[in-house]
Amino acid sequence: MSISSPYENLAKTAFWRSGVAEASPYQPEGIYSKKWNIPYEYKIATAGSCFAQHISRELKQNGFNVLDMEPAPYDLPKKLHNKFGFSMYSARYGNIYTTQQLLQLAKEVVGKFTPADTVWEKDGRFYDALRPAVEPSGYASVAELTAHRKHHLSKVEELFSTMDLFIFTLGLTEAWVHKESGTVYPTAPGTIAGAYDKNKYIFKNYSFIEVMKAFTQFLGIIRSIREDRSTPKVLLTVSPVPLTATASGKHVLQATTYSKSVLRAVAGEFASNHENIDYFPSYEIITNQAAKGEFYESNLRSVRSDGVEVVMNTFFAEHKPSENNGKLTNLRRGRRQAIQSEPDDDDLQCEEALVEFYNR
Amino acid sequence: MKKRILFIGTSHIGTFRSAWDPIEGSDEFEADFFGVPEPVWTGLLSNGSFQISDNKLLLPTQEEILSAFNFKLDAELKKSREYLLRSKYVFDANDNYSKIVLIDFDFHYRFPLWKNDDGIYMYDNAPVSLDLLLSLDRFAGNMHSHSGKYRQSGLTFKDDKEVSFISLIKLIRQLVPNVPIDLIREPFNMSSNIKRDKHNRIETQIISNKQLHDFAIKKSRGDEKTKMRNKIVKAVFDASVATSFECHQLCTDRLGLNIRHLPQPQETLDDTYAGTKDIFSVAYGDTGRLNRHCTPKYAEYYFKDILDV
């Protein structure tokens, strides 16, 4: 039977009016169909920009087997976990905003790269420039910092070699780089520690090709350190949190659009071409025009808890906690209670937001 | 004009009060004491909020105090509750103290903390910074390990709240920024006086020593009979003393406090190590020798320093 147009008989979600304008942003039907299941026994590793902390936390609260290679000491009060970089992700690497930062970490783990200028000093204390927020007061000595980093890298190696699923939230394309060595930093020098020196550091805004290449290399390294040389499953998301500031010289709105577009395109490219890589549309759910910005706090950056809940409901509708452990009711209830009691974004560690301080 | 000294601490403060008796009536000094048992401090820190108002360091509100004692009470807790409800505040800044002395605000060594060959503090098998140690619940709280009995008898602790006395010290510092604060320090596991037996303190130490022993065996790969075990035990023990000291140092540097050490224990420690086959039987046997320093005699000796205001 012939049809008059290729758009005839398409699903309602294929049309803007029925898929967005007249649909509830709180129940975005058909926006995500999983490529594969996440079995209960899957060892999940999480990393990414600060929005990824929501995902990590929600997965844990819903009984998924999220790895934590560097758990907090058992008697560290929970409210202090994030302050010291614990319980945010599967290891204590803090936020990984760019794919280049992720690649650099993997390279360092396997000894293919030695970052330079990794110790930033402030008021007599020493900060790990590659994760400056995990020790808020820094270390007492370079030796202490080095010992901590060595331990951290060994745990990341363990993580990368054992994970079955890697959930990574792509956050930014902008970064600050050490000119001579190419070392990529998560924060601009001088924000938490260190000092900005234009002869020493350069600003970099990565392109689609560069981000693609970095993530491809990252996957290659991951394969190389795994005993069976396998590639784990990968779930990519893009952070819906706009840039706090841009050093690109463009308007921040334009810079944000560039950054998110590149990252979204990279995620789409990987998901389209690799059976083991899936894309989860948290970016689209939060930025959905039908929500009219309601999923954002008044600063129009931070994501409100009900936005996070919609994101995670969408995720759990496909990857059901009940399929994982048969404790759906209690877990869901527990999750809701946790969400209600949590102070949303205030509870997250987002170093990039610190640059707002310079907005005078 | 008399110099006023304020002592703040646990029930151990009674030792100091006794030692003060001969000085009572002095033309030069007068002293005030504020003390409640350790678990009560924990209850107050974990259930309530100390605040500053009208130049006073206020106790948590009546409601908060009552909620910390909400079941059947043993005599000691009941007495403490009545004392707190009557007191309303810890001290008044207008009382012009020349010095404030904190007793028993101690950092306790926690298992499985140790120091590796490079001098890095390790918590189990992960390196840990002193800042993190200072943030550990109970590390700077000192009270939880003795609180089992009190939990049973109705003292409630909110597990989600930080139980640390550092916040309290910060408030004191805020209220009287120029008054010197002494922190009397007792090295690890030497804080209990014999009287604490009835509060299970000795038992707590024995449990603690068993952990130390188990940890040493684990670290020496189960070879109980080699010298390695004692070497490790000593290393762990040394680390515990050093950790406690360094944490105090860090804390006092940050808060501008003076550390004062109780006299004695070094010779006892050396004696403990000398030629012993089993550290535990000597150091923590039934002799109680490491506890003996906490007597009025020692407190009196200690006043020589404290009174130098």
pLDDT digits (tens, 9 = 90+) for B5-27: 898 887 667 767 777 777 777 77
Percent of chain A having pLDDT more than 90? Answer: 75
The alpha-carbon gap from B104 to the nearest alpha carbon of chain A, in Å, equals 20
Q: What is the chain A residue with the closest CA to B122?
A: A148
Rounded Cα–Cα distance for residues B9 and B4 (Å): 16
Say whether B120 and A140 touch across the interface (CB within 8 A): no
Say whether A75 and B110 touch across the interface (CB within 8 A): yes
The answer to whether B130 and B109 have CB atoms below 8 angstroms apart is no
Widest pairwise Cα distance in chain A? 78
Predicted confidence (pLDDT) at residue B283 exceeds the cutoff of 90 = no
Q: Nearest by CB to A76, which of B116, B118, B136? A: B136
Say whether A79 and B129 touch across the interface (CB within 8 A): no
- Better-predicted residue by pLDDT, B230 or A126: A126
Q: What is the dihedral of CA B156, B161, B164, B170, to 10 degrees?
A: -120
Predicted confidence (pLDDT) at residue A148 exceeds the cutoff of 60 = yes
Across residues B190-201, what is the average pLDDT? 34
How many Cβ pairs within 8 Å bridge chains A and B? 52
From chain A, the residues in CB contact with B160 under 8 A are: 77-79
- Better-predicted residue by pLDDT, A291 or B180: A291
Say whether B162 and A73 touch across the interface (CB within 8 A): no
Residue B108 pLDDT:
56
3-class DSSP state for residue B250?
A: helix
Say whether B160 and A79 touch across the interface (CB within 8 A): yes
Say whether A80 and B120 touch across the interface (CB within 8 A): no
Predicted confidence (pLDDT) at residue A192 exceeds the cutoff of 70 = yes
* A197: number of Cβ within 10 Å: 11
Q: Nearest by CB to A77, which of B110, B119, B160? A: B160
Predicted confidence (pLDDT) at residue A199 exceeds the cutoff of 60 = yes
Q: Which amino acid is at A119?
A: V
Residue B245 pLDDT:
62
pLDDT digits (tens, 9 = 90+) for B211-262: 555 655 665 555 555 566 666 666 555 555 555 566 666 666 666 777 665 5
Task: Please tell me the pTM assigned to this model.
Answer: 0.73
Residue of B132, B166, B253 best to disrupt the A interface, most CBs of A under 10 A:
B132
Percent of chain B having pLDDT more than 70? Answer: 45
Residue B46 pLDDT:
78
From chain B, the residues in CB contact with A80 under 8 A are: 135, 162
* Beta strand residue intervals within A10-67, DSSP E: 44-48
Percent of chain B having pLDDT more than 90? Answer: 9
Predicted confidence (pLDDT) at residue B307 exceeds the cutoff of 90 = no
Q: What is the chain A residue with the closest CA to B123?
A: A73
pLDDT digits (tens, 9 = 90+) for B72-81: 667 777 888 8
Q: Both tokens of residue A219?
A: 């996957």
With cut-offs at 50, 70 and 90, classify the pLDDT of residue B52: very high
Say whether B135 and A84 touch across the interface (CB within 8 A): yes
The residue among A21, A59, A70, A94 whose CA lies nearest residue A237 is: A59
Quickly tell me which residue has 């936005």 as its tokens: A307
With cut-offs at 50, 70 and 90, classify the pLDDT of residue A26: very high
Please indicate if any CB of chain B lies within 8 Å of the CB of A135. yes
Predicted confidence (pLDDT) at residue A283 exceeds the cutoff of 90 = yes
Helices (H), chain A: 16, 52-61, 99-109, 142-162, 208-225, 252-273, 282-287, 305-318, 321-325, 328-341
Please indicate if any CB of chain B lies within 8 Å of the CB of A70. yes
Residue A353 pLDDT:
64
Across residues A75-88, what is the average pLDDT? 87
Across residues B194-198, what is the average pLDDT? 33
Say whether A135 and B132 touch across the interface (CB within 8 A): yes
* Beta strand residue intervals within chain B, DSSP E: 3-9, 29-35, 51-53, 56-58, 89-92, 97-103, 113-115, 121-123, 126-127, 181-185, 258-261
Residue B192 pLDDT:
34
Predicted confidence (pLDDT) at residue A101 exceeds the cutoff of 80 = yes
Residue B279 pLDDT:
30
Is the sign of the CA dihedral B122, B124, B125, B127 positive or negative?
Answer: negative
Say whether A147 and B120 touch across the interface (CB within 8 A): yes
Please indicate if any CB of chain B lies within 8 Å of the CB of A292. no
pLDDT digits (tens, 9 = 90+) for B98-117: 999 887 776 655 556 667 77
Say whether A148 and B127 touch across the interface (CB within 8 A): yes
Say whether B135 and A144 touch across the interface (CB within 8 A): no
Q: Tell me which residues of chain B have a C-beta less than 8 Å from any C-beta of chain A.
A: 110, 116, 118-120, 123-124, 126-132, 135-139, 160-162
Poorest-pLDDT segment among A51-65, A257-271, B125-139, B200-214: B200-214
pLDDT digits (tens, 9 = 90+) for A311-340: 999 999 999 885 555 444 444 444 444 333
